[in-house]
Structure 1
Amino acid sequence: SDESSEDEAQIKWEEQQIKKAVKLSQETYDDASLHKSQPTKPKFDPSVSLPPVNLEIVKKRLTERITSLQDVHRAHQREYEKYMEDIESSKMTVQELEKSSDAAVNYKFYRAMKTYVENLVNCLNEKLKYINDVELAVHLLLQQRAMRVLKRRQDELKNESAYVQHLTSGNDKATNGKLEGDEKTQLLEMCEHRRTCRQQVRECSGEADHHEGMSSDDELTPTEVTEFQKSKDNVLEDSKKVFEDVHADFCDIRKILLKFQEWKEKFPDSYCDAYISFCLPKLLNPLIRVQLINWNPLEQNFTELEEMPWFRAIEEFSGAKKVSESKRDDDPDQEVLPRVIEKTILPKMTAFVKSVWDPLSTSQTKNLVQLCNDVFEKQDLSKNGCSRAKEDLINMVVLRMKKSVEEDVFIPLYPKSSVEDKSSPCSKFQERRFWSAVKLLSNVLLWDGIVQEDTVRDLGLSKLLNRYLLLNLLNTPPGPDNIEKCNKVVACLPGRWFQDLKSGSTLPELLNFCQHLLQCARVLHKNNHSEETKAVLLMLVKVKALHVVEGFIEEYKLEHLKSMI
């Protein structure tokens, strides 16, 4: 046992010695490799000579060093200045944000406004179909009534013309076989009855300056009036139901505009950037049309636009009455009312002119002319004074007047023996047709200043006067009747046409008319009718046919009449 323990100790000692030898050799190897990897430092050799150094080289290198440092300094200075500017800008932004409304409040307002506009547009889109239906229903009622009156007038004109022609020819058979005895007589009696009723009304009102044929003859029978009013009331009742289920915030124009007014006051920049003034006319269009459903500008005592709630609301919103000219150009809301007129009012007026207006009706024409003047005056406040809608309206007026001249004017010519008796049917019918044409001439000339002057002169003078009226005047003997007719024609002519005529000659379209007046003056003077002669000369002076008057005075040595020129 002692020997075995000594052997184990010997073995352990050998192993320890071996491990020490291995460890020692490894450390020796690591030190050698580390020594090899490190570069050897050069040793200073005092025998090696250095390049010469003088003051200029040192100065140059120092200058270069200073220049480099200065460039770096300037770069740092610029960066510093930029940082300081950013700091100042940030401080100002912070101050502005502190002064402005809270961002959360702004976001809440814009989000609420967005939701409101979306709901408003959806509501109006849903109601648009009902608005179109109601508007169309009322317009069809007015159109049907106008067509009924026009058709009756044309039928009665044909029947009465045929009847008078029948009397003139002395033939006992009904003309054209269209209407036999009792039926024709009944229609003529109804026409004569309406004529008598109108005459009684004029006598009661004291209207003296009136001639048969100058009435529009647009009266309806009591049954027709009742049916029309009943149908119209039903449609108007339906129109009241269009927005009955809608909150006032979405159908009251004033409240809608207040929403946008709030936006404009709080955030004017974003309000302008959103072009709200361009959007409002289209947005308000359905609501305005509902208020215009019962509006008929051709009727007497119709509601003025200025008196309507929508007009007052828009006028108040845009401040049209208060704003000065200097501010007008800056505020885009000043264009809202003119654009509403262009987009909504003018198209509705054009529809009335096309389907409802009767050019032979003086009351309708005067109302329409006055409305056009008022509307165009308001539209002229806009920067875009001339618009397509305005041109369409004027073109439709001209088209309707041309149609009326072609279809409504008929002045028959009968033998002199048939019209000598003023109470004969031929004479009465011819007189009525003449005065009806004079009335149309007067209505056409009312449009001077709205329709182009060349167009008005062509329709009124070239077509109506020279083609129809003058032919009747030439066949009327000079005398009180002829003078009265000519005087009425001259009274229709706009005075501004003759203001700039300085040559002594009248308008080219009036040359034939002036020749007729001259012939009348000669005949009257030869028959010693001095007052009538003077009246004719005064008409020539009014139309600036001064050379004609001067020639007449010289021809007949009427020196005492020179004062009228």
Structure 2
Amino acid sequence: MAHRPKRTFRRRQAESSESDDAEDPSAEQEEEGWPSGGGGAEVAERQRRARRGPRGRGLVWASSRRAPDAASRADGGPTVGFSAHEEDETHPSLDSESDLRPSSDSTSSLEEKEASSIVKIPDAAFIQAARRKRELARAQSDFISLRVNHTSTTFDKKRSSEEDPESEPDDYEKSIPFTPKPQTLGQRMAEETTNRSEETSEESEEDENQDVWEQQQMKKARDINLSHCGESQTMKKLNTSISFPPVNLEIIKKQLNTRLTLLQDTHRLHQREYEKYVQDIKNSKAVIQNLESSSNQALSYKFYKSMKTYVENLIDCLNEKIINIQEVESAMHALLLKQAMMLLKRRQEELKYESAYLQQLSRKAETNGSLAVDEKSQWILEEIESRRTQRRQARVLSGNYTHQEGTSSDDELPSKEKTDFQKSQGDILQDCKKIFEDVHDEFCNIQNILLKFQQWREKFPDSYCEAFIGLCIPKLLNPLIRVQLLDWNPLKLDSVDLKQMPWFVSIREFMDNGVEDAANDDNPDKNILSAVINKTVVPRIIDFVESIWDPLSSSQTASLITHCRAALEECCTAENEVSKNKQGLLKSIVSRMQKAIEDDVFIPLYPKSAVENRTSPHSKFQERQFWAALKLFRNILLWNGLLPDDTLQDLGLGKLLNRYLIIALLNATPTPDTIRKCSQVAASLPEKWFENPAMKTSIPQLENFIQVLLQSAHKLSTCEFRNEVSEIILILVKIKAMNQAESIIDEHHLE
């Protein structure tokens, strides 16, 4: 911003110090014709304005340029002091011309003005000429016009100032009269009062004029800059004579490569910055999410605290009740074991007494002696016959005429023992219901417990997974599930299926509610049900298999196979996964069937004379024992699909068929009844073993059975039992003994 140039004011110097010292202001006034009173007023006025400060209108003595005509004057007139205002009015273009157009004339005139010490009073013609010269210079627009209107009379000035106070000229624009008129004392006093009252308004007007002057200077500077810029652009456009260096393709190519390298570097830099900004955005979003989630820290803390308290109370409750649960489980297991052992022991004792009675009967026939039977043996034999008679009557009433003697389970209990068993079982179940009588449903109801953990999983899934709740739930629910399984017997056909139990349904619903995470392989909730069955159900089934299951009972075996198949299907948590409990269950099943083969299979061999009569006690006993062994053979092969094929072939074919059944068939005379027995053996074999169409030979363990069929075919063919021979051929075809079947067909000319 341009600043207003500071004006230089100097006190007028006399031509000689003597004249100044000699002359008195009053004498000077008298010489000029000024009244003394006016001079005193002027002095007072100067003192007053000097006290006003630098912004007042006080007059100072200043040097003035010597008038051109003053040199021709021979004698100098009286000297008067010009104010700065009068000097500006006389020569207003000095400052502006010296700033805008410095020249030698202005410089010499300025030096001459500064060098001169005494100024002669110009006459009226000179003043008029100076005014015309100033107006002419103003018309040329070589300076910043102050637009000061000078009036010829004092009347016009006063009228203009009264009409427009803002148009009043500044101090340096006012002209000072050379010969002021004398003023009276009243005029001076009035002027003094007026000046004092206008002091404040004049200062404000001076500040406003100062701002106007600065704005004009700034406008002028902008105009000059714009004019210079336009001239420079015009010069650039018109200057076409500039010569450029010769064009070289290599230089251009090098410059382009350099430019391309710089752009690539810049692009890489921008790319890194972009990636950084993207990462910052992701981090910011993560922070925002964390902050939003952390806003609920109070609620989270409250939930975790309540959940911690709930789990601790649940664990304390289960730890307290687990002892009672184990007691009722032991009581129920002991009751069932007692019943199973009683039936097993009774069957073995009856077999032993009946076999001994038949041996005594054989010795009596050989020696023709008397038969001595003690009372206990007689009572046992009568009891056995009594139960058989009851079963025959029941079969007749039901219309079952195809039943074979020896295939019954013979598990009927006396009425008294049955009543005692039911009473004891009811007492145990009643004790089981009392275990959780004093416990709230939130700690003993499986559905309510799972609902608590479901709320945790929905509200805070991360902490739920980090706490491995899916692995803890099976352990927490184990005591409660054992209570519900107390009355569950997998050996009964009318027992409730696992999938229909309340705990199974509740766990399935809990897993289904978390189906959105089912696709996650690491989700532990999808294995809760299999873990519960593996750790709770399978051990209970193993206890039944090892202690209570009777492999000779077809009903128990069928029910056990159904529940084992359902449990093992749920137990497999992943493809081709085999748990330890599953292996333990299968091993216990194999062990129990092997024990049954060794302890319960007994087929006596009697002389043909003793068994020829189909109604003899020896023949009936042998038939019953054969069909009992065949029943066990059928029950063993029912495990096809759960047990490995080689295990079943070893148990059923190697240890039972070849050791017991084949010997009985070979010892018997081939009859249609023998072929019926062979047909039952072949019907018990799993069809899966013979599904291979390229199979030309049968299973190696069936070689003895094939030989029995061939011998029976040869003997029956001579007796004209062609239908039985055809049946033997069908049996051979079923077991894939194709060569043997073709040989019989060719030998007997059968179709």
TM-score of Structure 1 vs Structure 2, range by shorter chain: 0.7 to 0.9
Identify if the C-alpha distance between structure 1 residues 87 and 507 changes in structure 2 by more than 3 Å, giving closer, same or farther. closer
Alignment of 1:300-449 (within 5 A): 300-319=493-512, 323=515, 327=519, 329=521, 331-382=523-574, 385-449=577-641
Conservation of the 8 A alpha-carbon contact between 2:518 and 2:526:
no
Tell me, which stretches of 5 or more residues in structure 1 are unaligned?
Answer: 1-77
Conservation of the 8 A alpha-carbon contact between 1:174 and 1:181:
no
Match of 1:286 among 472, 479, 500: 479
Identify if the C-alpha distance between structure 1 residues 151 and 174 changes in structure 2 by more than 3 Å, giving closer, same or farther. farther
1:144 and 1:480 map into 2 onto residues whose CA distance is 43
1:296 and 1:283 map into 2 onto residues whose CA distance is 23
Question: Once the two structures are aligned, what percentage of the paired residues are identical?
Answer: 52
Match of 2:401 among 199, 208, 218: 208
Deviation at 1:89, TM superposition (A): 5.1
Q: Which residue of 1 aligns with 2:110?
A: none
1:478 and 1:88 map into 2 onto residues whose CA distance is 89
Conservation of the 8 A alpha-carbon contact between 1:419 and 1:427:
yes
- 1:166 matched to 2:360? The reply is yes
Deviates more, 1:454-463 or 1:100-109: 100-109
1:491 alignment partner AA: A
Deviation at 1:196, TM superposition (A): 1.2
1:473 and 1:542 map into 2 onto residues whose CA distance is 19
Q: Which residue of 2 aligns with 1:191?
A: 384
Match of 2:296 among 91, 98, 102: 102
1:195 alignment partner AA: R
Deviation at 1:93, TM superposition (A): 2.6
TM-score (norm 1): 0.80
Conservation of the 8 A alpha-carbon contact between 1:214 and 1:432:
yes
1:513 and 1:377 map into 2 onto residues whose CA distance is 35
Deviation at 1:91, TM superposition (A): 7.8
1:82 and 1:324 map into 2 onto residues whose CA distance is 34
Q: Which residue of 2 aligns with 1:147?
A: 341
Deviation at 1:370, TM superposition (A): 1.1
Q: Which residue of 2 aligns with 1:62?
A: none
Q: Which residue of 1 aligns with 2:460?
A: 267
2:557 and 2:348 map into 1 onto residues whose CA distance is 20
SS at match of 1:319: helix
Q: Which residue of 1 aligns with 2:675?
A: 483
SS at match of 2:382: helix
Match of 2:331 among 119, 129, 137: 137
2:682 and 2:311 map into 1 onto residues whose CA distance is 58
Deviation at 1:454, TM superposition (A): 1.0
Q: Which residue of 1 aligns with 2:113?
A: none
SS at match of 1:327: coil
Conservation of the 8 A alpha-carbon contact between 1:445 and 1:456:
yes
1:385 and 1:236 map into 2 onto residues whose CA distance is 36
Match of 2:658 among 441, 466, 469: 466
1:371 alignment partner AA: H
Cα distance per residue 1:204-235 (max 9 Å; x no partner): 22223321100111111101101111111111
2:400 and 2:487 map into 1 onto residues whose CA distance is 31
1:481 alignment partner AA: D
2:569 and 2:494 map into 1 onto residues whose CA distance is 21
Identify if the C-alpha distance between structure 1 residues 492 and 384 changes in structure 2 by more than 3 Å, giving closer, same or farther. closer
Match of 2:696 among 504, 507, 514: 504
Deviation at 1:536, TM superposition (A): 1.0
Conservation of the 8 A alpha-carbon contact between 1:295 and 1:303:
yes
- 1:258 matched to 2:451? The reply is yes
Deviation at 1:82, TM superposition (A): 10
Conservation of the 8 A alpha-carbon contact between 2:729 and 2:741:
yes
Return the index of the structure with the highest Cα Rg. Answer: 2
SS at match of 2:621: helix
Deviation at 1:94, TM superposition (A): 4.5
Conservation of the 8 A alpha-carbon contact between 2:572 and 2:579:
no
Q: Which residue of 2 aligns with 1:531?
A: 723
1:312 and 1:546 map into 2 onto residues whose CA distance is 52
Deviation at 1:480, TM superposition (A): 1.2
Structure having the higher helix fraction is 1
Identify if the C-alpha distance between structure 1 residues 307 and 326 changes in structure 2 by more than 3 Å, giving closer, same or farther. closer
Deviation at 1:375, TM superposition (A): 1.3
Match of 2:440 among 247, 254, 257: 247
Deviation at 1:266, TM superposition (A): 0.5
2:350 alignment partner AA: E
Conservation of the 8 A alpha-carbon contact between 1:401 and 1:444:
yes
Deviates more, 1:199-208 or 1:145-154: 199-208
Identify if the C-alpha distance between structure 1 residues 97 and 547 changes in structure 2 by more than 3 Å, giving closer, same or farther. same
Q: Which residue of 1 aligns with 2:320?
A: 126
2:299 and 2:658 map into 1 onto residues whose CA distance is 75
TM-score (norm 2): 0.61
2:602 and 2:516 map into 1 onto residues whose CA distance is 54
Conservation of the 8 A alpha-carbon contact between 1:524 and 1:530:
yes
1:500 and 1:547 map into 2 onto residues whose CA distance is 16
Q: Which residue of 2 aligns with 1:452?
A: 644
Deviation at 1:501, TM superposition (A): 6.2
Conservation of the 8 A alpha-carbon contact between 2:489 and 2:495:
yes
1:462 and 1:552 map into 2 onto residues whose CA distance is 26
1:142 and 1:286 map into 2 onto residues whose CA distance is 20
1:208 alignment partner AA: Y
Identify if the C-alpha distance between structure 1 residues 93 and 536 changes in structure 2 by more than 3 Å, giving closer, same or farther. same
2:406 and 2:332 map into 1 onto residues whose CA distance is 30
2:638 and 2:556 map into 1 onto residues whose CA distance is 11
Deviation at 1:329, TM superposition (A): 2.9
1:426 and 1:233 map into 2 onto residues whose CA distance is 44
SS at match of 1:138: helix
2:303 alignment partner AA: F
Deviation at 1:556, TM superposition (A): 2.7
Identify if the C-alpha distance between structure 1 residues 317 and 474 changes in structure 2 by more than 3 Å, giving closer, same or farther. same
Deviation at 1:327, TM superposition (A): 2.0
2:329 alignment partner AA: E
Cα distance per residue 1:333-365 (max 9 Å; x no partner): 110000001000100000000110000000000
Kindly report structure 1 stretches of 4+ aligned residues shifted beyond 6 Å: 81-88
RMSD: 2.4
- 1:157 matched to 2:157? The reply is no
Identify if the C-alpha distance between structure 1 residues 528 and 229 changes in structure 2 by more than 3 Å, giving closer, same or farther. same
Conservation of the 8 A alpha-carbon contact between 2:361 and 2:371:
no
